[in-house]
Structure 1
């Protein structure tokens, strides 16, 4: 099921109760730990972005959109957390993969930037908080520019 909302609060209100509690807690954890400069907005779920004021070029695929960093969403069969830093920084991905079993008994279910939590109640909030702190806006922009420069060379 897709949810359409103009604010994170509206998005959360639309969710079934179990999902509402989980997404609200994930949102709180990310907001409490995210370095200064990132902004919360709505897109494909609740998104944390680098605003155009800090990075005028925006997202290379759609420059009119701000640079995405983290997003959380309630999907049909799981809760999804997308973290673009994990996608672009192998050291961060390795760290996360090593830390995950220290926090969870469930197997890590992950794509390139997507971490899927099934059943929805199995979320390592403390680890997500730590992950949220790992990159500042400046570090993320530097990483993003390095990665998009590599893409242009291919």
Structure 2
């Protein structure tokens, strides 16, 4: 016996429910990139790091709104059913989690981009720099 088999795997139906539920909380870099590239984007990508970090580099098409500034007034720019995909620096950062909590408390649909900037870079995707009008809600 080893650490892998010591605890038995879930029954298939339980495993299915678990993994399907995880996809309700998170999005991966590849899927977000594909949606952005094909124009099939029905969500807002929200960079929740500082605006200075956003200007240095960010996911193309992302809107800058630092997690600490996610308040009802700023969210009025979007309809209540808009899905937000939030990201921060990467697995070592909990800014995306903090942003997801704020959005959920405001009754907004939200998913976390797993990997954040680190995951995006790991996939070999490019970054944008600077800021565009309407893309920074600081």
Return the TM-score normalized by structure 1.
0.25
**Relative to total residues, which structure has the larger strand share, 1 or 2?**
1
Query: Greater relative contact order (Cα 8 A, min sep 6): structure 1 or 2?
Result: 2
Name which one, 1 or 2, has greater alpha-carbon Rg. 2
Return the TM-score normalized by structure 2.
0.27
